[in-house]
């Protein structure tokens, strides 16, 4: 028994799939507690799980419940996180031991979901968008722990690119330094969360999940540790107008600066403010891109299992 196993509870469904070498997709929980209002957050989380199942994989939503690292939540646990909202501890790498020691409930970010997924033996993870270098980071040094985790943990993160509230060029530079490939799925241009375009290219383009699975196998077989960003553009039908979303982001950033909102509170505040400024359009776009990422992650997990 590994020392970490005393802290981890894997659901029967997920453990059975892992034991049989079947495809499994990790899902985060910050999007439930901090990303959307109740009950839309719970509805979205349960729908994402169903999409993964329809794609031939087993969903493993990850969170910390009363100090236990949970890999595969019950519907009741998802509902609890959704109702509790921002009262749940937003948990990144640095927070995990303290949430465990104090037997708290924790919603896992991209970074902490990657850690727990890796401990459980899961290599494919679907989320909305990754964190990165915040705008003005040359003054604030506000850089998401997601980037550090991508540099060290062997998990592929299927996302709609880098959140457009961030400094995309600096985030790409940081990922390059860490040796993290940014792979566009059927696109040569990096998507920017709400939009399919950002004005920046990707490192590599893949046309099929099978081609990407082969690259992941080669990377990890060679001991080239670290994650991969799989950038999957939001479906065209749910893409937001580039100018509209960027004007809303600029206004949200100005308000965050005026209110002195920094650190891990920045992203939830900015996403909520952008939703308000766009009349809810950004939330609809956010939900649909998460669904789209879950579909691709399931296909990728199936390809990796084969």
Q: What structural domains does the chain harbor?
A: 3-305 (3.40.1790.10)
Instruction: Give dist(CA 301, CA 125) in Å, integer.
Output: 9
Contact yes or no for 158/297 (Cβ under 8 A): yes
Is the pLDDT at 262 greater than 80? The verdict is no
Q: What is the pLDDT of residue 281?
A: 78
Report pLDDT digits (tens) over 158-167.
Answer: 999 987 778 9
Q: What are the Cα distances from residue 107, in Å, to 31, 171, 262?
A: 8, 24, 19
Report pLDDT digits (tens) over 67-113.
Answer: 999 999 999 999 999 999 999 999 999 999 999 999 999 999 999 99
Q: How confident is the model at residue 140 (pLDDT cuts 50, 70, 90)?
A: confident
Specify the residue for token string 């040569």.
188
Is the pLDDT at 264 greater than 70? The verdict is no
Specify the residue for token string 């950033």.
253
Greater model confidence, 187 or 286:
187
Active site residues: 28, 163
Burial label, 222 (beta-carbon count in 10 A; 0-12, 13-18, 19+): exposed
Query: Quick one: average pLDDT of 260-264?
Result: 75
Cβ neighbours of residue 12 closer than 8 Å, sequence gap 6 or more: none
Q: Mean pLDDT of all residues in the chain?
A: 93
Contact yes or no for 224/131 (Cβ under 8 A): no
Query: Quick one: average pLDDT of 235-257?
Result: 85
Is the pLDDT at 51 greater than 90? The verdict is yes
Q: What is the pLDDT of residue 252?
A: 80
Is the pLDDT at 263 greater than 80? The verdict is no
């Amino acid at each position: 028994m590994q020392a970490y196993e005393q802290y981890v509870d894997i659901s029967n469904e997920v453990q059975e799939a892992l034991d049989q070498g079947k495809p499994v997709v990790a899902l985060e929980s910050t999007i439930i507690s901090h990303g959307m209002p109740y009950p839309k957050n719970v509805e979205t989380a349960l729908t994402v799980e169903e999409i993964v199942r329809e794609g031939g994989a087993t969903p493993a939503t990850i969170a910390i419940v009363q100090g236990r690292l949970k890999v595969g939540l019950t519907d009741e646990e998802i509902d609890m996180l959704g109702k509790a909202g921002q009262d749940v501890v937003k948990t990144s790498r640095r927070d995990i031991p303290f949430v465990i020691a104090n037997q708290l409930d924790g919603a896992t970010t991209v970074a902490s979901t990657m850690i727990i997924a890796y401990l459980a033996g899961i290599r494919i993870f679907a989320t909305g968008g990754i964190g990165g270098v915040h705008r003005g980071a040359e003054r604030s040094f506000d850089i998401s722990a997601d980037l550090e985790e991508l540099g060290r943990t062997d998990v592929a993160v299927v996302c709609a690119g880098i959140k457009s509230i961030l400094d995309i060029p600096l985030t790409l530079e940081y990922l390059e330094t860490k040796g993290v490939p940014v792979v566009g799925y059927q696109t040569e241009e990096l998507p920017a969360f709400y939009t399919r375009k950002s004005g920046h290219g990707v490192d590599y383009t893949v046309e099929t999940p099978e081609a990407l699975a082969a690259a992941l196998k080669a990377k990890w077989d060679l001991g080239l540790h670290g994650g991969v960003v799989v950038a999957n553009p939001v479906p065209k039908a749910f893409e937001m107008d580039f100018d509209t979303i960027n004007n809303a982001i600029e206004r949200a950033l100005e308000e965050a600066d005026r209110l002195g909102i920094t650190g891990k509170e920045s992203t939830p505040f900015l996403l909520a403010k952008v939703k308000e400024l766009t009349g809810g359009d950004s939330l609809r776009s956010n939900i649909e891109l998460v669904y789209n990422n879950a579909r691709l992650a399931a296909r990728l997990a199936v390809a990796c299992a084969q």
